[in-house]
């Protein structure tokens, strides 16, 4: 995978993460699930920021960024707190793998940026009841 292909794949992953977190946030309640709601809101805001940063990084190369799809499939029904938490964990796990590809395919400032994003995704997985991994973002 070329560095540009890795950036585009990561942007596509962030498009999906933003969409899914938007739905998950809408399915949660700030009054009934305050911790979950706060974690979902924080994740949504962070992934929007990363999506926007990736868009700029790609545009600076004179390339059109990959567009977002109209919609994305949810990992589950996202109806209960457990399902919301599991869906968020799946989003972070998937985007971690995508950031792992970016780190492995890039160098310099893009790689440093990808490492910071991958590290954050690994920590965020813990907020959604994930387990620590020796090398997050790598296939088992």
78 domain residue, yes or no: yes
140 domain residue, yes or no: no
134 domain residue, yes or no: no
89 domain residue, yes or no: yes
What is residue 3's DSSP assignment? Answer: H
For residue 98, give the nearest of 23, 24, 12 by alpha carbon.
12
Q: What is the pLDDT of residues 35-93, one digit of tens each?
A: 999 999 999 999 999 999 999 999 999 999 999 999 999 999 999 999 999 999 999 99
Q: How many Cα atoms within 13 Å fall on the side-chain side of residue 118?
A: 22
Three-class SS state of 106 = coil
Determine the pLDDT at residue 104.
95
Percentage helix, strand, coil for the chain under 3-state DSSP, each rounded to 5 = 70, 0, 30
136 domain residue, yes or no: no
132 domain residue, yes or no: no
Q: How far apart are CA 88 and CA 98, in angstroms?
A: 15
18 domain residue, yes or no: yes
Which tokens sit at 130?
Answer: 């994930």
Domain of 87: which CATH number?
1.20.1260.10
What is residue 80's DSSP assignment? Answer: S
Into how many domains does the chain fold? 1
Q: What is the pLDDT of residues 95-113, one digit of tens each?
A: 999 999 999 999 999 999 9
Which tokens sit at 133?
Answer: 């991994």
138 domain residue, yes or no: no
- Domain with 77 in it: 3-127
Residue owning tokens 């949810």: 74
């Amino acid at each position: 995978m070329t560095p540009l292909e890795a950036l585009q794949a990561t942007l596509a992953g962030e498009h999906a993460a933003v969409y899914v977190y938007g739905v998950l946030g809408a399915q949660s309640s700030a009054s009934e699930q305050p911790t979950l709601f706060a974690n979902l809101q924080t994740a949504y805001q962070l992934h929007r920021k990363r999506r926007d940063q990736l868009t700029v990084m790609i545009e600076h190369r004179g390339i059109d960024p990959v567009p977002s799809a109209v919609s994305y499939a949810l990992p589950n029904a996202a109806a209960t707190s457990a399902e919301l938490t599991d869906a968020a964990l799946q989003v972070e796990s998937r985007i971690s793998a995508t950031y792992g590809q970016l780190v492995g395919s890039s160098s310099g400032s893009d790689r440093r940026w990808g490492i910071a994003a991958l590290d954050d995704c690994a920590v965020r997985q813990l907020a959604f009841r994930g387990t620590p991994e020796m090398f997050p973002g790598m296939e088992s």
